[in-house]
Amino acid sequence: MYSNFHQSGLCHRNLVALIGVVLDDTNIYMVTEYMANGNLVDLLRSRGRHQLDKMQLIQFAM
């Protein structure tokens, strides 16, 4: 098992902080900060519950 930590100093309110990475023989584990409202993939896949308008998509890209 190999564990690595890299602090890039990159900090922005729209970015999830990467805490660390752990590698074993077959898997890569990324530890990130907790996201209270879920993750972006689930939000984008739940189109029935949340519709993203043009401004929201632009804000995600920024």
How far apart are alpha carbons 6 and 3 in whole angstroms? 10
CB 20 within 8 A of CB 1: no
pLDDT value, residue 57: 74
Of 29, 8, 10, nearest to 20 by C-alpha is 29
pLDDT value, residue 50: 62
Q: How many domains does the chain have?
A: 1
Of 52, 54, 31, 30, nearest to 40 by C-alpha is 52
Q: Locate tokens 């023989």: which residue?
A: 25
pLDDT value, residue 49: 59
The conformation of residue 25, written as its DSSP 8-state character, comes to S
Q: What's phi and psi for 61, nearest 5 deg?
A: -75, -20
Q: Which domain holds residue 49?
A: 2-61
* 1-56 tens-digit pLDDT: 555 555 566 777 878 888 888 888 998 888 888 888 887 777 767 766 566 777 87
